[in-house]
Structure 1
Amino acid sequence: MNQKIDRVTLVVIDIALSAPVLLVLSVIDLWILIVITLKRQLHSYSNYFLANLVFSELLYVFVMVPMETVLQGVSTPHRRSCGSNVLYILIHSCIYTGYFHCAVCFSADKYIKISRPLKYATIVTGRICVIVIAMAWVSTLALSSAITVLSISIQDCLNNERGSFVVALKRKFLIENNTVALASIAVITALNAAIIRIARHQARAVAQQAREGNHPDASKTKRYLGRFLWSFVLVWLPPIIIGDCLYLTMTRRDNLDWYFVSKVVIKVFGLCQMLYGTIAMILLQEQFKDVLRSNWQFMKTKLHI
């Protein structure tokens, strides 16, 4: 009885912490996708990579979060079929891995745009944009399938051995975080650090020539990418390290309590990162700021504010 009460309490805490962030994040992400689709001035390859990243966030919000909540509060893994457990791990791995792959593509596009501004139009074409985005999702599916195979012990699953699914979750968690997440964070950190260094150098060169403060465009670029970089590093690394420690010290194979607690912590941190990074990405771009101002003026006129 106590375990069930604790599980229900955990779900309530999870919903209370996640719901406000989910609501704001989903509204902002949908707005970004809509304005990129409808506004011609936002039809650029960089914004297509941004839309791809936002789409991966929406998959996290509308698919993975509800699925995890159901698993925590309603579903009992040991009573489900082997196929449903495998499907859960595959879907979860696809969305989680896809988000980091899309973030790497977004950072790579920004690096090429800043480091090769004169050659950007010839390097990043419409065909290249489609190929890169397609490869990101194809590699996501392939890697997620491999993670699922490595996580699930097919013989244990078929025999319905108690604790086999918990062991699979532990394997999946450790593989995802210590390969996909950390590798992606390392690539994103390297790309954005190089971009910030280039932007700082450009700002100093412009300031020296003009004998005044930093050039506003370079300064904005540095702040924009700095926020995106640190939101990834500072928000994702702590929960990954905490989660690794929890799993390495877990002793009861058939107890999912620590798994759900760590997932709540990681999910809340991840949602905060997504919200912070998304807001930083739109507020420091003049194109999105102009659209946001026009939308706000339209709403004020309609609501007679």
Structure 2
Amino acid sequence: MSNLNHSALKLAVLTSSTYFGLLGYFLNSVVIAADRYLKISRPLQYLRLATPRRCIALIGASWCLSLVLGLAVFLSALLNFDTNSQESFGSFLQREGFRIPIVVTMDLTIFTSMIAVTFLIAALVRIARQQRRKIRDEMLMLKHLQDRVQRTEQEGNDENTPQPRPNHLSDKTTVYFIVHFSAFVVAWLPASVVMNIAIPSDLTSAVLNPLMTIIAIFDTFWGTLFLAYAQPEHRQAARSNLKRMKRLNCDR
């Protein structure tokens, strides 16, 4: 009986911890995507709305919601396992009553977050295209005005005339965000499909866990690290942190 109680507690802790981490990760990904969309699409309103207090409250609320739902999953997993029955722990894990709720819960979390992020990606793509068209139209208009000025002043040497260059910094920033959130969707869509196939089937954790680890590493590398090192502000912050660490080592 003690072994069954220990197994039930272990199951409840692992299930709730996994769901807490997944839900918190996905909720914060949607929050970050919405934050970047508002920052690019409505910069003036963003400065008025995105105050530090509101940002802290929003992120804290997302983690508190993840914690509450994780505790709910913990209690449901603990109560569904009957320690008084003769059913073994392994056979309980094979039952549909345990596997199907996990699949449904993860699908609601992952697919809902991916749908929200996909719509935000589509909105960022639309903004990027508008920026490109606006820059192209402005360059054509500026070139046309320069040609008129050159014809008026009769300047024959066109090669010595400095040509303007478009500023693609804002466009590059939009592209970085699009690539980051696209990597998020591309990484987790196969993960969700794999979970829908693996959890109802008889795949063991020895096969499933390395596969999920590889997908998580892929998402972390091509998402977070790419976005961090693509931004000049993040590179500058990383260099300053390295300088501080070197100073601490030198002081020791």
**If the length of structure 2 is used for normalisation, what is the TM-score?**
0.75
Is the radius of gyration larger for structure 1 or structure 2? Answer: 2
Alignment of 1:60-79 (within 5 A): none
**2:48 paired with 1:122:** yes
Corresponding residue to 2:30 among 75, 93, 104: 104
**2:150 paired with 1:186:** no
- TM-fit CA distance, 1:83: 2.3
Structure 1 residues 233 and 84: alpha-carbon distance in aligned structure 2, compared to 1, 3 A threshold: same
Unaligned runs of 5+ in 2: 141-163
- TM-fit CA distance, 1:112: 1.1
Query: Counterpart of 2:60?
Result: 134
Structure 1 residues 155 and 80: alpha-carbon distance in aligned structure 2, compared to 1, 3 A threshold: closer
CA contact (8 A) 1:85 1:165 kept: no
- TM-fit CA distance, 1:222: 2.8
SS at match of 1:121: helix
CA contact (8 A) 1:203 1:215 kept: no
Alignment of 1:167-178 (within 5 A): 167=95, 170-171=99-100, 173-178=102-107
Which whole-Å CA distance do the structure 2 matches of 1:92 and 1:268 have between them?
16
Query: Counterpart of 2:212?
Result: 266
Amino acid in structure 1 at the alignment position of 2:108? T
Which whole-Å CA distance do the structure 2 matches of 1:107 and 1:159 have between them?
47
CA contact (8 A) 1:148 1:172 kept: no
Query: Counterpart of 2:228?
Result: 282
After superposition, what is the alpha-carbon deviation per residue over 1:267-288, rounded to whole angstroms, capped at 9, x for unaligned?
2111221122112221221111
Structure 1 residues 194 and 157: alpha-carbon distance in aligned structure 2, compared to 1, 3 A threshold: farther
Query: Counterpart of 1:220?
Result: 172
Which whole-Å CA distance do the structure 2 matches of 1:148 and 1:100 have between them?
19
Query: Counterpart of 1:21?
Result: none
SS at match of 2:204: helix
Query: Counterpart of 1:205?
Result: 134
After superposition, what is the alpha-carbon deviation per residue over 1:192-247, rounded to whole angstroms, capped at 9, x for unaligned?
22123212212321232134776422331232112212211111111211221223
**If the length of structure 1 is used for normalisation, what is the TM-score?**
0.63
Which whole-Å CA distance do the structure 1 matches of 2:165 and 2:99 have between them?
52
Structure 1 residues 80 and 118: alpha-carbon distance in aligned structure 2, compared to 1, 3 A threshold: same
SS at match of 1:118: helix
Which whole-Å CA distance do the structure 1 matches of 2:165 and 2:199 have between them?
50
- TM-fit CA distance, 1:294: 5.2
- TM-fit CA distance, 1:158: 5.2
Unaligned runs of 5+ in 1: 1-76, 251-256
Which whole-Å CA distance do the structure 2 matches of 1:241 and 1:157 have between them?
32
CA contact (8 A) 1:100 1:181 kept: yes
Which whole-Å CA distance do the structure 1 matches of 2:98 and 2:218 have between them?
24
Which is further off, 175-184 or 206-215?
Answer: 206-215
Which whole-Å CA distance do the structure 2 matches of 1:293 and 1:130 have between them?
26
Structure 1 residues 136 and 158: alpha-carbon distance in aligned structure 2, compared to 1, 3 A threshold: farther
Structure 1 residues 203 and 83: alpha-carbon distance in aligned structure 2, compared to 1, 3 A threshold: same
Structure 1 residues 214 and 191: alpha-carbon distance in aligned structure 2, compared to 1, 3 A threshold: farther
SS at match of 2:82: helix
Which whole-Å CA distance do the structure 2 matches of 1:132 and 1:265 have between them?
32
CA contact (8 A) 2:12 2:73 kept: no
Structure 1 residues 286 and 87: alpha-carbon distance in aligned structure 2, compared to 1, 3 A threshold: same
Which whole-Å CA distance do the structure 2 matches of 1:185 and 1:150 have between them?
26
